[in-house]
Amino acid sequence: MNLARIAWRLLRYRVAVMLVLFMLVGAAAHHGVDWQHAWQLVLACLALAVSYISATSVNDLADYKIDAINHQRSPGRPLVSGEASKREVWQIFGACSVIAVAIAGTIDPLAAAVMLASILINVLYSLPPVRVSYRTFLAPLFLAVGYVCVPYLLGTIAVQGTLGQDDLFWIGGLYLLFVGRIMLKDFRDRKGDAKYGKPTFLLRYGKKATCVASGALIVLGGGVLGWQLRDEPWLTVLAVVFVGTIVAMLVRLYRATPGPDEQLSIGVGAKMGNGLLIALFAALLLADSHLGSTERLLAVWLVALPFFLNLVMFVRDPAKAAIGYKG
């Protein structure tokens, strides 16, 4: 299996798309999603995609034994499936790390520095001696920096934006939402984590505490975004509805029996989280348009509508619902 094919397997596209959305929100928050900055945004997307391959490759190397239990049949784990050797995955990590920084450098030297920080986050998270992934409380907080702050900053730099007070609310709200979301990853991985002594929040404090902590962070993050959107009440209402459905999925998760039903609840909640992110991006994008408030309201709600229809389908027949990503 050649290196390009292995790299493609390591690019788990659903998460990569989420990174791009965080980047686009950062750009849109600075009114920069236009043709003038189109090339820089394309380069930012490529840099994020390549850096994510770097992240997954080093994490797969570090957690090979755990993944062999949790992801035995996953096509996105070529190391576990035997389709790739450790040497090949190390080569991909090195190459993608250099390429990601180089691509970001064509945007701006500051973008290259942000991308270099992202690579460092990947290494510190996965590899000893620091190995943040084994720190119960620090792991989700640390991971959210790489998943939320780095893309948002890259988007801001790509459109030559300047960070201000508003960015603290955008980043803060999205950061809290993501931390609440990433804590649920441990449901998918608990079997392998338990065998190799990985002290995740779920294993240390149990299912109830994990659901409560996740829900509290998601509500808090939604509240921060709602405050930032206070001048557009209809957007605040939309954010509240999205957050409410995610919390409802958390309640369902708590009541679900361990196994596929848990993953379905998490996946549908993740789908609604993606919907919130896309609706937020659409609202920021349309803020610079000549549309009136009513027209923008209808446009954003139309963007959000498929996600709510999917939720209705899930309630009626869970097997037919589209999910974001499991665990």
Helix, strand or coil for residue 310? Answer: helix
Residue 259 pLDDT level (bands cut at 50, 70, 90): confident
Instruction: Please state, in angstroms and rounded to a whole number, the distance separating the CA atoms of residues 230 and 236.
Output: 6
Backbone angles phi, psi at 288, to 5 degrees: -95, 0
Instruction: Please state, in angstroms and rounded to a whole number, the distance separating the CA atoms of residues 220 and 239.
Output: 12
Are 69 and 192 spatial neighbours (Cβ–Cβ below 8 Å)?
A: yes
Give the tens place of pLDDT for each residue, 136-169. Answer: 999 999 999 999 999 999 999 999 999 999 999 9
What number is the average pLDDT over the span 70-82?
Answer: 88
Give DSSP secondary structure letters for 8-53. Answer: HHH--HHHHHHHHHHHHHHHHTTT--SGGGHHHHHHHHHHHHHHHH
Residue 325 pLDDT level (bands cut at 50, 70, 90): low
Q: Is the pLDDT of residue 199 over 90?
A: yes
Instruction: Please state, in angstroms and rounded to a whole number, the distance separating the CA atoms of residues 162 and 156.
Output: 7
Give the tens place of pLDDT for each residue, 81-131. Answer: 999 999 999 999 999 999 999 999 999 999 999 999 999 999 999 999 999
What number is the average pLDDT over the span 317-321?
Answer: 76
Residue 13 pLDDT level (bands cut at 50, 70, 90): confident
Task: Return the pLDDT at 1.
Answer: 57
At 140, list the tokens.
């989700």
At 296, list the tokens.
């923008």
Give the tens place of pLDDT for each residue, 266-305. Answer: 999 999 999 999 999 999 999 877 778 788 889 999 999 9
Query: Domain 1-163 adopts which CATH fold?
Result: Tetracycline Repressor; domain 2 (1.10.357)
Indicate whether this model's pTM tops 0.85: yes
Name the residue ranges covered by the structural domains of the chain. 1-163, 165-327
The whole-chain average pLDDT of the chain stands at 93
Instruction: Please state, in angstroms and rounded to a whole number, the distance separating the CA atoms of residues 247 and 236.
Output: 16
Task: Give helix 260-286 / helix 165-182 axis angle, nearest 10°.
Answer: 170
Give the tens place of pLDDT for each residue, 178-193. Answer: 999 999 999 999 999 9
Give yes or no for a cis peptide into 140 (omega within 30° of 0).
no
| Minimum mean pLDDT range among 34-43, 252-261, 291-300 | 291-300
Residue 221 pLDDT level (bands cut at 50, 70, 90): very high
Task: Return the pLDDT at 326.
Answer: 55
Q: Is the pLDDT of residue 74 over 90?
A: no
Residue 27 pLDDT level (bands cut at 50, 70, 90): very high
Task: Return the pLDDT at 10.
Answer: 94
Task: Return the pLDDT at 115.
Answer: 98
Q: 276-285 burial by CB neighbour count: b if 16+ within 10 A, else e?
A: bbbbbbbbbb
